[in-house]
Amino acid sequence: MNEKIKCPKCEYENPINFTSCIKCNHRLKNAQYYTENYKDFYELFSPKNLDILNNTQLTDTAYDTIIYNIINIGEDYIKLLPDEASISNLFNITKPYVKIQYDNSKNFPAYLSYYSYNNILIKKTTHASLIPTAILHEFTHHLFNEIIKQSLMHLLNHEKNLLIESFAWYLTLENRYIELSGEFMAHKVQEHFLPDDFEGFTSVIKLLEDNPNLDEQKVKESLYFGNSIAKDIIYILEHFITPKASMYGNVFENQGIEYPIVDISNEEKISRLYSLITDAFNKIINDKVEMQAVLSQMNKNYIYLNC
């Protein structure tokens, strides 16, 4: 890790512990800034913004714009025709969005890879043949985070900042249902682009096994929601990646999931996304002291992993 923080004004790279820029004296928003300075937190999670959120609709036109904004992040940068999901192609495609790193640590020994604060970490022990499907999985987690961030930015007409990053991170891990949606969509994307490398909905099944008391109706709704967002993420990625045909002719979709996956309407998908965002926002407003600490810690992790 390179311990630098870029000055937003003059772009000079300062040491991470500096509170103002060596060159231009601009205030630097480093970890210390976010620990000591509550202003940004209270500015974002204000009753005024809650009011805006409650009175602004997430329309399907706005949602489409959000999806196109996310495609544009890549299209401005990637000058390649869509190609199959090889390691080199995926490293290229993901570059404008996330950082991919090989992970030597002992974190998550059972995983091939994991997603953490805009970083895709691939375990050093993961076999090369499994890396493309692992990247697709983690990149889907990132794109779901991006959809949440862009939706909140749109609803509040707010620039992206670290707190918005942390808000999305917090939301996607807030409870088991949203985790189920996230894991389902990540596996759907793998199944779509690399059907023969796909090894089933392992993290969905594990979550269900580890949490036997989840409400069945809510589980189903979470899977349907995950499925509907997966379609949008597939749409985004098809600008850059072509699905690989299965050697076995046809793909049996959703194998290992004990519920039939029902398609939900666009309105239902968007209204669910909107309630996830407003509910999480409300929760933060209602418990500001506790949540300020939670989000500050997340901000620190973002800075730590991305500087």
Can you give the C-alpha Rg of the chain in angstroms?
20
Note the residue count of the chain: 307
CB proximity list for 305: less than 8 A, separation 6 or greater: 1, 99, 116, 117, 118, 119
Report the nearest approach of Zn ion to the CB of residue 57 (Å). 30
Report the nearest approach of Zn ion to the CB of residue 53 (Å). 28
Q: Which is nearer to Zn ion, 187 or 284 (CB)?
A: 187
Longest dimension (CA), the chain: 62
Q: Which is nearer to Zn ion, 12 or 91 (CB)?
A: 12
Task: Give CA–CA dist 68/71, Å, rounded.
Answer: 5
Q: Which is nearer to Zn ion, 14 or 49 (CB)?
A: 14
Report the nearest approach of Zn ion to the CB of residue 134 (Å). 10
Report the nearest approach of Zn ion to the CB of residue 186 (Å). 5
Report the nearest approach of Zn ion to the CB of residue 8 (Å). 8
Q: Which is nearer to Zn ion, 12 or 285 (CB)?
A: 12
Start-to-end C-alpha separation, the chain:
7
Binding site for Zn ion (CB under 5 A): 7, 9-10, 12, 21, 23-24, 26, 183, 186, 203
Q: Which is nearer to Zn ion, 45 or 201 (CB)?
A: 201
Report the nearest approach of Zn ion to the CB of residue 51 (Å). 35
Query: CB of 263 within 8 A of CB of 9?
Result: no
Q: Closest by alpha carbon to 6, among 37, 29, 36?
A: 29
Report the nearest approach of Zn ion to the CB of residue 111 (Å). 8
CB proximity list for 21: less than 8 A, separation 6 or greater: 7, 9, 10, 12, 14, 28
Q: Which is nearer to Zn ion, 99 or 288 (CB)?
A: 99
Q: Which is nearer to Zn ion, 186 or 280 (CB)?
A: 186
Q: Which is nearer to Zn ion, 53 or 134 (CB)?
A: 134
Report the nearest approach of Zn ion to the CB of residue 5 (Å). 10
